[in-house]
Structure 1
Amino acid sequence: MSRDEGPEVGRSLHLCGIPAHVLDVCQASARRRQARWPAAASARRAWLDAAQATRGPHLRRRPTSTASMFDAGSTGTRIHVFQFRMEDRGVPSLHQETFRSIQPGLSAYADHPRECSAGISELLKVAQSTVPASLWSSTPVLLRATAGLRLLPEQKAQDLLDTVIAVDEITPFLSGGDSVSILDGVDEGIGGICYRIISSSLKIPSMSVGMLDLGGGSFQITFSPQDEPPPTRTINYFSTCASKTKAPVSYLGLGLMSARLAILGGVDASPSVGGSTELVSPCLAPEYSGSWEYAEVVYTVRGQKAGEPLYEACVTRVEKFLYKKLLKVSEAADADFFSLSYFYDRVVDLGDEGTVHVSDYVNAAKRVCSGLSVSPQQSPFLCLDLVYISVLLQELGFSTDKQFKLAKTMNHVGLSWSLGAAFHHLNTLNTH
């Protein structure tokens, strides 16, 4: 999920047009936020005035727009500074991206929200050094928080957002009432736009491409259903420029770090005498004992005494955790899927990249789990993580011979929902 090297600059990448009825849905979401924050309307007017003032006659025909997007994830906060250009026939393209990330995520400051402001200010300096000063007042700065904040109690999440808003209000960039928020169900559909970017860039028929994104706090799958759509209570549908239906599905709590905590038993654990929390798991080497920190809680973790082989015991534990939590996606079995974030990272941990089969995750899990010792050269959680990924993919309905393409970037541009969300926001400003 995170790219700690930075800043990075991306090459041109084209976005498709978005149907009016899709924009209507997204703009309705924006209007709901605008009703809560009246300043948003005046911010949009200021953006339009400033944007027109900085554009010459040529740029009015082919405008350049810039946006800074914060991705506040569960394991880190990232800033993307995007510069878009309008190409022929009204098709926007991404001209440049600058990226940087910091750790930990905002949710780590849940009990001390004011402490998150230093990191936000640090990342804002990246935007200031990237965007010309003459464009600051017309460049919107946005923050969208994902699973890390959605998993927090409502008041703690709001306290963090209020801290970010306070920092946001004193920046030289354009901000409004909808500049800082938690990504909601409608906003998650924006991921379908980034999904379409991949289809367009690779010239693969849109009905044959999907994306799997395993974050720290949640897991998303986007694909093109070829039969009747699954229940709408679970999936929001968005049409693309090719009038094909996409189905973005987000599973909160099934991200790798959240799942790891639950599989280790940390969700239901209570601190013992002295305030420490000890977790015993069949997914760790029997002789292993160590510590693990998650969401500012330090856990003592150790392996379960030898009994059933480690791999089989861990599979049983993971299957129990995932029982009836996932919808089958058998209708997407033939799609060409890209695997992002931790799907990518865990394979790279083993020295592989490019493409991977479900069986590769299974075999890697067996190999790592069987070779785990008291002092492993690799992460003591790698057995658990690989078992989780392999079981997750099979529970979704993928066969062991299913192949996935591994990707972190495309044309040097990071693959994430941030690109689509930034483009959507600029489009909303232009249409109000």
Structure 2
Amino acid sequence: MAEIGIKVKVILLGAAVVTVTLMTLIALILSLANHQTLNRPYLTQYGIVLDASSNHTALFLYQRLGYKENETGIISQKLSCDVEGGGISSYDQNPPAAGESLKKCLDVAKAAIPEGQWKATPAYLGATAGMRLLGLQNQSLANRILEEVAKTIQSYPFDFRGARIIDDKEEGAFGWITINYLLESFVKHTFEGFWIHPKAGKIVGALDLGGASTQISFTPIDPVKGPNSTSNFTLYGYKYEVYTHSYLCYGMDQALKKLQAYLHKTAGASSAVNNPCYPKGYIVSVTLAELYNSPCVEKPINFNPNAKVTFSGTGNSPSCLSSIENIINLTDCALSPDCGFNGVYQPPVNGEFYAFSSYFHIFNFLGLTPKAELTQVLSTIETHCNKDLSTLVVENPSINVKTLRDYCASANYIMTILLKGYKFSSNTWNQITFEKQVADVDIGWTLGYMLNLTNVIPSESPGAVTGVVHSQWAAQTFFIVFVLFLSLLIIVILVLFTRLPSTA
């Protein structure tokens, strides 16, 4: 009987151990159910902007986190793609081809965006001065081209937001936003991982030179006098007033066309005309229809579109500069001396400026980027302009002749609008930096456009998930396994103990 009593006590003790063990397991399981709330990381969002300029179209794919910093997105450029062919305005004889030309770059963007985010990716196309000029000539044709490019973009699984001609003030102001964002003038990421507004943020001006127009944008020191000459933005919680003006018909391509037309008219509409901006040895013949095919140049009296004129280069830099100054109105100004050119009001230039697009490309060819002293710039341009065609070809075998012939006129045009148009001087010249990119991002209006749009695009809520911290989960799992193992071991020992033979 004593032996039976001992075994009963042992069994009861084992049952108690098992009960405690099971209760411990239940408590641990319940503790696992006490999940912590964890924030998910913000999802990377994407945006596409197509820049349909006068010369070509480029696609820019931007990425940003779903949150905003003081109501403005934090954006970076993921990739860019140059569309083959000319600008969409060059498809005036075949509008559907304008849309077809975009497909290669749209395919590149599609491949770079995760499939699950295609439908959430906004896509925009903004056309600039080339389409503005076409609209002046034939608005219905300009609309047809926009319809064709819109049709192509809509065939992709993106959130198409429209194809339109952006106005001249937007183009200049958005370029200003881009350059200041890239220079961290609006917002800056600290070493500790925070975004802050730099108290000493340096706001710079923007100088853009395209094919059909040129823009200047900056924050003036004094109140602006001219009506409709400022744009107002709220970026990262701060307000900015920006003077901006775009000169239609004064982009590089149109300026060169105006120069040819001026030389033709001053030569008495002769069929043989000297061009001091072309290098010696360069000769080209064009029809008057080709010469006067732009609304930026006025056709002569008794215009014969089939007549031809031959231009012969003389390579004379002073004469080239003088001719260029004659295609720009540098005198008429109702608010003198506060004027740019063509009678347009402009406050005095203020602070540092970044010059991009054709400014950069021309000066980069001449070895004058990102900065050079004014005396060096002037002497370099004169030296280049005085070279004959054969010398230029030998020195630049990889550049086609048509491009080489225009560097002299282009450089002198740049100096004319900067020094005599915008009124930069020997004292302020060193405030201009000629660049194509900042932080590996192209300078232009498209990034500024996306940044401005983020003020109206709602920010994404990251949401929350429940769970346990990984270290806590690992510790609890180990303890559960250990208790289970220990419990099983005790049960096995107890079973074996109860089966031991009696010693009595």
Q: What is the aligned partner in structure 2 of residue 407 from structure 1? A: 435
Q: What is the aligned partner in structure 2 of residue 106 from structure 1? A: 88
Q: What is the aligned partner in structure 2 of residue 73 from structure 1? A: 53
1:373-408: CA deviation from partner (whole Å, max 9, x where unpaired)? 466325011111111011111121111351121211
Size of the aligned set, in residue pairs, is 360
Q: Indicate whether 1:191 and 2:175 are aligned.
A: yes
SS at match of 1:80: strand
Deviation of the 1:101 alpha carbon: 0.6
- Corresponding residue to 2:275 among 268, 278, 281: 281
Q: What is the aligned partner in structure 2 of residue 21 from structure 1? A: none
Judging changes above 3 Å, is the alpha-carbon distance between structure 1 residues 246 and 207 closer, same or farther for their aligned structure 2 residues?
Answer: farther
Judging changes above 3 Å, is the alpha-carbon distance between structure 1 residues 267 and 250 closer, same or farther for their aligned structure 2 residues?
Answer: farther
Within 5 Å, give how 1:105-254 maps onto structure 2.
105-152=87-134, 153=137, 154-176=139-161, 179-185=162-168, 187-188=170-171, 189-197=173-181, 198=183, 199-200=185-186, 205=200, 209-233=204-228, 235-241=229-235, 242-254=238-250
SS at match of 1:321: coil
Q: Indicate whether 1:256 and 2:252 are aligned.
A: yes
Higher mean alpha-carbon deviation, 116-125 vs 293-302, is at 293-302
Deviation of the 1:265 alpha carbon: 1.4
- Corresponding residue to 2:418 among 365, 369, 393: 393
For 1:279 and 1:422, the matched residues in 2 are separated by 47
User: What is the aligned-residue identity percentage?
Assistant: 22
Deviation of the 1:295 alpha carbon: 11
For 2:264 and 2:174, the matched residues in 1 are separated by 34
For 2:88 and 2:310, the matched residues in 1 are separated by 24
SS at match of 1:117: helix
State whether residues 224 and 347 of structure 2, in contact with CA within 8 Å, keep that contact through their aligned partners in structure 1.
no
The runs of 5 or more residues in structure 1 that have no matched partner are 1-55, 270-276
TM-score normalised per structure 2: 0.64
Q: What is the aligned partner in structure 1 of residue 325 from structure 2? A: 319
Judging changes above 3 Å, is the alpha-carbon distance between structure 1 residues 208 and 236 closer, same or farther for their aligned structure 2 residues?
Answer: closer
Deviation of the 1:360 alpha carbon: 3.9
Within 5 Å, give how 1:262-411 maps onto structure 2.
262-265=258-261, 281-290=275-284, 302-303=311-312, 310-324=316-330, 325-326=341-342, 327=344, 331-333=348-350, 335-373=351-389, 376-377=392-393, 379-395=404-420, 396-401=422-427, 402-403=429-430, 404-411=432-439
1:131-165: CA deviation from partner (whole Å, max 9, x where unpaired)? 11111111111100011101112222112101111
Which amino acid in the other structure matches residue 165 of structure 1? A
1:16-46: CA deviation from partner (whole Å, max 9, x where unpaired)? xxxxxxxxxxxxxxxxxxxxxxxxxxxxxxx
Deviation of the 1:57 alpha carbon: 5.8
The runs of 5 or more residues in structure 2 that have no matched partner are 1-37, 189-197, 266-270, 295-305, 331-340, 397-403, 460-504
Q: RMSD across aligned C-alpha pairs, in angstroms?
A: 3.3
Which amino acid in the other structure matches residue 302 of structure 1? F
SS at match of 1:430: coil
Deviation of the 1:237 alpha carbon: 2.2
For 1:358 and 1:264, the matched residues in 2 are separated by 27
For 1:278 and 1:238, the matched residues in 2 are separated by 50
Deviation of the 1:312 alpha carbon: 1.8
State whether residues 168 and 245 of structure 2, in contact with CA within 8 Å, keep that contact through their aligned partners in structure 1.
no
For 1:166 and 1:266, the matched residues in 2 are separated by 41
Judging changes above 3 Å, is the alpha-carbon distance between structure 1 residues 300 and 428 closer, same or farther for their aligned structure 2 residues?
Answer: farther
SS at match of 1:84: strand
Judging changes above 3 Å, is the alpha-carbon distance between structure 1 residues 407 and 295 closer, same or farther for their aligned structure 2 residues?
Answer: farther
Judging changes above 3 Å, is the alpha-carbon distance between structure 1 residues 109 and 89 closer, same or farther for their aligned structure 2 residues?
Answer: closer
Deviation of the 1:285 alpha carbon: 3.1
Higher mean alpha-carbon deviation, 417-426 vs 140-149, is at 417-426
Deviation of the 1:75 alpha carbon: 1.1
State whether residues 287 and 302 of structure 1, in contact with CA within 8 Å, keep that contact through their aligned partners in structure 2.
no
Which amino acid in the other structure matches residue 332 of structure 1? V
1:304-337: CA deviation from partner (whole Å, max 9, x where unpaired)? 6x5xx7112111211111114354756225x111
1:328-349: CA deviation from partner (whole Å, max 9, x where unpaired)? 756225x111111111111111
